[in-house]
Structures are given as C-alpha cells and as structure tokens.
Structure 1
C-alpha cells in the first residue's frame, strides 16, 4: 500500500473531534471523566452493559468488573495475584514492571446499580502528547474455554492475523505540524495485510527524521526484548487476546533531550557506522561494537538508554488479561506475535538505512 492508498483508507474513519463528541454525550459516574486517550476496548455508554473505561479524579484508569461476565473477575484475579503485597516470586515481580500498576478496586453507583472498577495506572500521564498504539498479540485470540461459535468468530474476524501474528486495535498519533491527533480504530486494523502492516507501523512512528526514528526504535526494541526474555523463561501463564500498548511522546518540544543526545552522538555521515551491521576495517580485523538488540553502535545505545532526560520518550506495557490462564508451559502463541512485531520493527530500521544508501 502506498501513501496515497493509506490516506484514502484513513479518510473513511471519523475524526478525533467526532470520536470524542460521541463519547461525551452520556451520563458518567461521580468523580469520573471520559478516558481521552483510549484507542480500543470497551467504551463507556456503548455495548450491552454500557460500561467501559473511565478515568477517576485521582488519575487512575477505571476498568469495569462485570460480575456476570467471567472475563472481568478473571482479569481482577490476575492483577490481584501479580500485585500481591506479599509476593516474593521473581517471575511475578518482574512481570509487575511490564504492567500498569494495580491500585485495587473502587465501587460506586451508576444508574442505580453498584459497579466495581479496577483502578490501574494511566501510563500516558507521563506524556504531554501521547502517541498510542494498541496491538492484540498472538495469531490465536480465543482461549481454551472458547465454545465453537466463539472460535469461529475469532478465526474469521481477522484471517491475516495468523500470518502477521498480531492485530492493530487502534492508534492515536499526534501530528505536530497540524497540532491535532490522527485517530484510527479497529476497522483500520482489520484492513491491514502482511504487506501493509509496515506502512501502518510507520504511520504510528510518524517521525520523518531518521536519527529520531532510530532513537524511538531503540527504546521500543529494548522494551520488547525485555518482555520477550520474560516470556522465554516464565511457565506460569498463557495469554490469549492480550494486548501491548506502545506509547511515545508526540510533542517535539518535549523531546529536546532526545535531540541533544542524537546531535552529540549521531550524524547522517556516521549513520552507517552506528547502525545495522558489523563493520570491519580494511586495515585490520577489528569489528565495530554494536548492540545486538537495537543494532545501534554500543556507545550510542548506552547514551540513549542511560540518559535521564529520555526517561519519558516511550513506554511499552502489557494490558488486557481477561483471557489469561495458568499453565506450566511456554506461551508459544504470545511469543509468535511478539517475534513478528520485533521483526517488522527491524525491517523498518533496515528500510531507513537502505534509503540513505
């Protein structure tokens, strides 16, 4: 898909202003507001129960626990187990760093009915203009308890997912030149094919300057590899229909620290020596030291990851655990999707390098 085709595809979707307006014309529980940065999932006022994600006045994201639907209590049980104050299991303790923090539950009245919400950290609070991508990970999205009809629905919903390994559920990208957001929903995601996914991911990254694009990819790849390392060793859970939330700072004024780091360590002339491959000198057998994860030179990689001014450049968190089950085996389904995403990001890196040659 070329740029023109993608723009035509995007134009069929509602604008952010229309999207926001349609979500505010409904009653809200006391002490809550609409979750402005939500790009996927259940929206408040929609669906069978009219309950969806909200934001509490204390800053927590509120996710409803619908008791008559096993998915809500199951997700609550997962968060409660992982964030148990007396937990000493290193597998759980490491997993905590990949999830939004769990702050317990909050009960309120809505439409004369008692409603329980899980209180979760809003990771977008660290960003001024958060750009957000929600990806459902794994070629198989139905869980072991799914009935034949559910399996049929999930299988037919997005056939390309078997090949790609993940699906775009929604994205929200700040465009500095226009000072507005581009918002795309799950319908956009369902239209993506293995050939168009790279362009869709580039649309999310939205950074035309190659050094800054490499900087962001460096962060993302390191975070994704940390999650992958955990999955390679853990034998506690299997995750179906779970998502990864990728967030980065879209406000160029807030990325000043990034620019300083890149300007002092990276230039277009140095790019081929700073990224992509081992480089051997003609005069000796020395090999440029480079990071095996992000493919930047080790010096540049270290300066990026250790620079405190870059701490809020991007974040990656695992979300949505309504279909998590205990297990004693490797979660190969999730790993397939994660590996695929990492490969697509590596290919974007390679395309950036190729453009400079």
Structure 2
C-alpha cells in the first residue's frame, strides 16, 4: 500500500460544527429525540454541559455528540473518511470496504441546541432485552501524545491489562427478569480471575441448562472477532488507541433459537455429519494442546498461529451451523477519538483482540467443546 495514500483531513472543529445551508435549524431534543436507554460506558453528558452525550432519533438513528477539541475532530473525520474515501487500488478498496462492516453505519451530522452530533446506525434496533459488553482493546489505552503523568497513571488503573490485552469498561445482562450492570470503575478493578468469571457469566447467564446455546453465542462473537483480527493483521493505514469492541445480542431472541443438530455422532446422522463431527473433534484437540502457548503474556509473538486461527474458525462455524435460526449478534469497533493515520501495523489493537479471542476460547473449552 502506498505510504501516503490515506490521510484524515485537517478540518477544524468549527468547520465541522458549522450549520450548512442544507441542514435543518437546531432542534430541541425534548421534542424530536430521546436519551439513549442502554448506555453501559462513556460520558452520559457532554463535559461541562448538561447536553446528553447520546440521543436516539424517532427515525431510528443514534446520535453521538462531537467531543471537544481534537478528539471530536478525529472521531467525526474517521467516520466521514471511511464512507467517502475513494480507494486507489484493489487492496485499499477491499480493506476500507471490510472496515466499514466492523463499525456502525455513518449518516452525517445533526445540529441540536447548538451542539453537533454524529448520526450513526442504532445497533439496538430490534434488540429486546439487550445484553451488552463494552471493552477497551490494547495494552496501551492512553494517547501517545498525552503527558508523561497521564501515561504512567494509566498503567495502574487496571491490574489485569498486561495479561489480557483488554479491559472491561461496561456490561449489562438480563438474568431472571433482573438487569445486572457493571461500570468502568468496577470493570478495571477486577482481578484476572474475576474477569474470566464475569465474561463466562455474560455469555451463559440465561441458559445454564442449554450449553449448546452458550456455544452458539460464543461462536458467533468469536467468528466476528477472528474476521476483525484478520483485518488488523493486513491493514497498515490506521492506528487506534483506546478503541472499544461493543458486543450486543438480544437475551429474549437467543432463548427462542432451536438447534439443527447437536453435534454428536450417532446412528441417526449421515456419513457427512459424522465426518464433520470427527473433523470438529480434531480441531478441538489441537486448540486444547496449543491454547496456553497463544496467550498474550506467554506467546513469543503478537500474532495467532495460522493453524490455531484456522482451527478456531472451523470450531466457530461448526457451532453456528448447528442452529436453524441466526439471531442478531453485533460485534462492532467503536470509539475513534484517538484514530490516527499510520504506515505500520496496529500492534496494540492486535494484542488486545488476540487476548479477548483467547479469553472466549477458554470459556468455550470450559463448557465442554
């Protein structure tokens, strides 16, 4: 890829926030918008104001207020860029097109009470009783341009970060008609053991007696994470600091799905199904033998072993194909206030995604692959 082929523009915050001729006049949010209901992380109001940081429109879009200073400029420009950029070659075209599948859709901006919002896809559309997981990826979660004090302080905020490559900053789970929530302060203060317990609970809290459904949820998320990991392993034009992975699925919808087959060989299955099951067991055995060597703090490389990656992909697809329906499971990359142009691989994000993948693999193995 050409070194200088991709650049974010130097548009100023005032230019972004200026009302264009074809934009409607600023509206009062009480009349046309409602505050976001399912927010598990981030600021609920714009700093030093009473303006909601997130709003929902009546037409089903999510509005995120543009942050102050350079952070707001970068995030808005990132969304705008990937939707307007014209690739110079097939490689760029493929990678930008692929990136757009990992981030919420972008629909321009909206002016409300003299504040400018980025208009985005509402990932909660048609999601009843959403289970939500928000985590920061990468061991480096502070902007490289930050002062030394802030960089040093960030290292002591989360003890398990060096082992996992990610940190939990928000969660919501529906369990027995109750809503269980976890905020960023609690998420960062967890021990490594507690992190694994919380993740395990998140992916299985509703279906303790339906192990196969737990595998379906995990596999759906894992499959999308592997795609995201593969993209990061190829691209060398964006670097993300303090970006998040957001996972959303409907607790209500998941409980209604039915299995196509349960993955166990028996006299009632065709030779193809038995062969598929046999190959699945080989993949599981390989993962069991090599899992420890792929952990963030033990591996000699930041990358997943290619065969390990392939085996995980096969395991995920095996469970996904075991069900008749395919419920909505969102896995999106969000929070781009610190997205930068680069000419190098984003090792920080690769480490974070790899660590989260292995945490999910550990849970999958624990529930009896």
Equivalent position of 2:100 in the other structure: 96
* SS of corresponding position for 1:277: helix
Q: How much has 1:199 moved relative to structure 2?
A: 0.3
Task: Report whether the alignment pairs 1:303 with 2:356.
Answer: no
Q: How far off is 1:345 after superposition?
A: 0.8
- 1:322 corresponds, among 337, 353, 357, to 337
Q: In 2, are the aligned partners of 1:236 and 1:326 still within 8 Å (CA)?
A: yes
> Judging changes above 3 Å, is the alpha-carbon distance between structure 1 residues 241 and 146 closer, same or farther for their aligned structure 2 residues?
same
> What SS class does the counterpart of residue 325 from structure 1 fall into?
strand
Counterpart-to-counterpart distance in 2, 1:297 and 1:171: 23
Gaps of 5+ in 1: 1-26, 280-289
TM-score, scaled to structure 1: 0.77
Change in Cα spacing, 1:239 to 1:85, as seen in structure 2 (3 Å) is: closer
Secondary structure in 2 aligned to 1:123? coil
In the TM superposition, what whole-angstrom CA distance separates every residue of 1:319-343 from its partner, at most 9, and x where no partner exists? Answer: 0000111101111111111111111
CA contact (8 A) 1:237 1:324 kept: yes
TM-score by length of 2: 0.75
- Residue 294 of structure 2 is aligned to residue 277 of structure 1: no
Structure-2 residue corresponding to 1:225: 226
1:181: which partner in 2? 179
> C-alpha deviations, 1:246-291, integer Å up to 9, x for none?
1122015x543x3233xx3435989996552269xxxxxxxxxx97
Task: Measure the CA separation in 1 of the matches of 2:363 and 2:159.
Answer: 24
CA RMSD of aligned residues (A): 2.8
Structure 2, unmatched stretches of 5+, are: 1-27, 267-273, 288-308
Offset of 1:47 from its aligned partner?
4.1
- Identify the residue that residue 292 of structure 1 maps to in structure 2: 311
> Using the alignment, how far apart are the partners of 1:136 and 1:117 within structure 2?
23
Q: Return the offset for 1:215.
A: 1.1
In the alignment, does 2:263 pair up with 1:266? yes
Moved more, 161-170 or 316-325: 161-170
CA change 1:85–1:143 in 2 (3 A) is: closer
Query: Does residue 1:107 correspond to 2:111, yes or no?
Result: yes
Q: Secondary structure at the match of 2:311?
A: coil
Partner of 1:282: none
Alignment of 1:1-357 (within 5 A): 28-44=29-45, 47-51=47-51, 52-66=53-67, 68-84=68-84, 86=86, 89-109=93-113, 114-175=114-175, 178-205=176-203, 206=205, 207-208=207-208, 209-251=210-252, 255-256=255-256, 258-261=257-260, 264-266=261-263, 276-277=284-285, 292-294=311-313, 296=315, 300-301=318-319, 303-304=321-322, 309-312=325-328, 314-353=329-368
CA distance in structure 2 between the aligned counterparts of 1:329 and 1:102, rounded to whole angstroms: 26
Cα 1:221–1:129, aligned 2, differ >3 Å: closer, same or farther?
A: same
Change (3 A) 1:159 1:278: closer
Number of aligned positions between the proteins: 302
